[in-house]
Amino acid sequence: MEKLFLAADLGGTNLRMAAVDSVGTIVSRNRMSTPSDGKQEDIVSAILSVIAEFRRELAGKFDLAAFGAAMPAIVNSQAGIILRSPNLPELNDLDFEARFTRELGIPVVLENDANAAAVGERWKGAAKGVRNSIHVTLGTGVGGGIIIDGTLVRGIDGTAGEIGHIAVEPEGYPCGCGSQGCVEQYASATAIVRIAKELMPLHPETELHSSLELTPLDVFEAGMKGDRLSLEVFRVSGTYLGIALGGLVNVLNPEAIVIGGGVAAGWDLFIEPLQSEILRRAFQHPGERVKLMRSELGDDAGILGAAFLASQKIKA
Amino acid sequence: MEKLFLAADLGGTNLRMAAVDSVGTIVSRNRMSTPSDGKQEDIVSAILSVIAEFRRELAGKFDLAAFGAAMPAIVNSQAGIILRSPNLPELNDLDFEARFTRELGIPVVLENDANAAAVGERWKGAAKGVRNSIHVTLGTGVGGGIIIDGTLVRGIDGTAGEIGHIAVEPEGYPCGCGSQGCVEQYASATAIVRIAKELMPLHPETELHSSLELTPLDVFEAGMKGDRLSLEVFRVSGTYLGIALGGLVNVLNPEAIVIGGGVAAGWDLFIEPLQSEILRRAFQHPGERVKLMRSELGDDAGILGAAFLASQKIKA
């Protein structure tokens, strides 16, 4: 019977799940709102109920062989434990792998969502065939995943990949992580709105003044129409991201940097300052060598990466 | 016949060479001044003459099976080509591997000296048995080498490991690499002397005032006697190094950071600010996890690493 792999993207708003075959085709999908009553057990039950539906739907036709989950949290992926989940703090310290292995009777793997996205893009997206790459997810925060010699870098406890928390301004804006001046404070969706508001007094001509609830999309759309404040915001963001990535290019000499997440929609406005800052910061050879690419899988990068990691788990 | 591996540390001042056995014992050593007439051929000939001496000495007893060379340069270690050698610019663009393979008739491997030191410390030094580590060489410049899952990270062209060129102060001191604010400008031997001179006007009490030709050792020795300027210099250096390493701890989640090079002699003066800055910058779990260690092999780290890489070359 053909093997399928269950994969989940466990966000603060939605639980998105899929059953994926061994070559990366999504055979079935499901989603539900993440229970928001703050109870760990309710989230676990919600995940189990979606998996039960997959089992009913696919039983007899496919063997659901392993389960991979990606989530926006600091996870010990070696042990399968959630260390710190800022969006769903009720999941802090959950021994995810042990719990779901016990419930499901199949191998389970847990990974940070940006790390999973890096794996997904290498498997089925922009980084196919690339052996050394850096994946950047520009969303509410800035996530990352590092692929070296074709393998996700997990580090000694599996917390590796947090490129959003490289300091680019030593005494810069305070970060939720406890440090300050992290690149997340300059290149995330949240940062784009904050920087726009900070720079507004210098740009009385901006059309953004009128916005009550400013979104990154507003800043992007105004920028595409030539709004000078909005262009400056993306220039600042791209430049700071370039400082962090230029350093990583020197350290890792990657073939490609893949950029995904919601803010990647602003590609046309940040790619030039980003590229020129990488060239300014990195040594000539690795700086000219690295290709900047846009994510191809969008929201499915994490799910496909989780499915791939699940498929690896039964091989290991 | 027992195999030995020729290893070289090709510095701007001295060519240090050794014949090393398969378990890392140095069987024989040799050194000579690096020819300084600016002619590439004279350096190549000097290396070949030292190797000829080893062959005379060891012939009939050992099989000299491969040659590994470490040098303070940006090298394409995949292709074995010297890209940019700041200290010996006459070696720029030398196809080292092809040339020495032809001359010697044995496999040849070329590596950056800090990368080789990382390999050496993992083989026979402080990082023995450590699977994920960052090696930092604090010398005239700041070099580095990254070990992931027991293997040196070389990147797509073999230029990886340049942690000295992570920007820690975006508009900071200009760096020879073309960027500015690189950690090399704050934590190298050169930087320690520069920072001491910059801060002197603020410290009329310092005993360093009288020094004509200030060296990093002067600053260290004064600091050990409680000189406030000297303590401040090492605090600044350690802090900036901590900004760079804190970011790398978030990205790589290493088990250990090994610090070598001449400036490592100042360990007692910079280790506290370095450690506390890493804890401030890195996430809690990886920050508390990583062990700071002092290099155990000193000047032999690069030579032993080059020998190890040579031994790997005949296995590959």
Query: Distance, in angstroms, between A180 CA and closest chain B CA?
Result: 8
3-class DSSP string for chain B: CEEEEEEEEECCCEEEEEEEECCCCEEEEEEEECCCCCCHHHHHHHHHHHHHHHHHHHCCCEEEEEEEEEECCEEECCCCEEEECCCCHHHCCCCHHHHHHHHHCCCEEEEEHHHHHHHHHHHHCCCCCCCCEEEEEECCCEEEEEEECCEECCCCCCCCCCHHHCECCCCCCECCCCCECECHHHHCHHHHHHHHHHHHHHCCCCHHHHCCCCCHHHHHHHHHCCCHHHHHHHHHHHHHHHHHHHHHHHHHCCCEEEEECHHHHHHHHHHHHHHHHHHHHCCHHHHHHCEEEECCCCCHHHHHHHHHHHHHHHHC
pLDDT band at A217 (very low <50, low <70, confident <90, very high): very high
pLDDT tops 80 at residue B240: yes
Q: Which domains does chain B have, with CATH numbers?
A: 2-120+299-315 (3.30.420.40), 128-294 (3.30.420.40)
Which of B167, B248, B285 has the CB atom closest to A83's CB atom? B285
Residues of chain A positioned with their CB less than 8 A from the CB of B146: 251-252
Q: With 90 as the cut, is the pLDDT of residue A289 above it?
A: yes
Q: Which residue of B has its CA nearest to A245?
A: B166
Structure ipTM: 0.94
Q: How far apart are CA B129 and CA A113, in angstroms?
A: 30
Instruction: Give pLDDT tens digits for B163-184.
Output: 999 999 999 999 999 999 999 9
Pairing of strands B14-21, A81-84: unpaired
Q: How far is B38 from chain A (nearest CA, A)?
A: 24
Query: CB B163 to CB A131 under 8 A?
Result: no
Instruction: Please tell me the predicted confidence (pLDDT) of residue B210.
Output: 61
**What is the percentage of chain A residues whose pLDDT exceeds 70?**
99
Residue of B nearest to A136 (CA): B251
Q: If contacts are CB pairs under 8 Å, which of residues 207-236 in chain B contact chain A?
A: none
Model confidence at B81, pLDDT cuts 50, 70, 90, reads very high
Q: Is B279 on the interface with A (CB under 8 A)?
A: no
pLDDT of A210 above 70: no
Averaged pLDDT of chain A: 95
Cβ distance B246 to A144 less than 8 Å, yes or no, reads: no
Residue B126 backbone phi and psi in degrees, to 5: -65, -30
Q: What is the reported pTM?
A: 0.94
Measured CA to CA in angstroms, residue A134 lies from A131, B100, B251, B269 at distances of 10, 34, 10, 35
CA geometry: angle at A130 spanning B145 and A118, to 5°?
A: 80
Task: Give the model's confidence band at A315: pLDDT under 50 very low, under 70 low, under 90 confident, else very high.
Answer: confident
Q: How far apart are CA B275 and CA B263, in angstroms?
A: 16
pLDDT tens readout for residues B19-67? 999 999 999 999 999 998 999 999 999 999 999 999 999 989 999 999 9
What's the confidence (pLDDT) of residue B86? 85
Q: Give the range among A10-14, A172-176, A298-302, B250-254 with minimum mean pLDDT.
A: A10-14
Q: Do B254 and A146 touch (CB under 8 A)?
A: no
pLDDT of residue A316: 61
Mean pLDDT of B272-290: 97
Report pLDDT digits (tens) over B185-236: 999 999 999 999 999 999 999 988 766 789 999 999 999 999 999 999 999 9
Chain A segment 161-190 residues within 8 A of B by beta carbon are 161-163, 165-170, 177-179
Nearest-Cα residue of chain B relative to residue A78: B253
pLDDT-derived band at B281 (thresholds 50, 70, 90) equals: very high
Q: Do A163 and B250 touch (CB under 8 A)?
A: yes
Specify the 3-state DSSP secondary structure of A166: coil
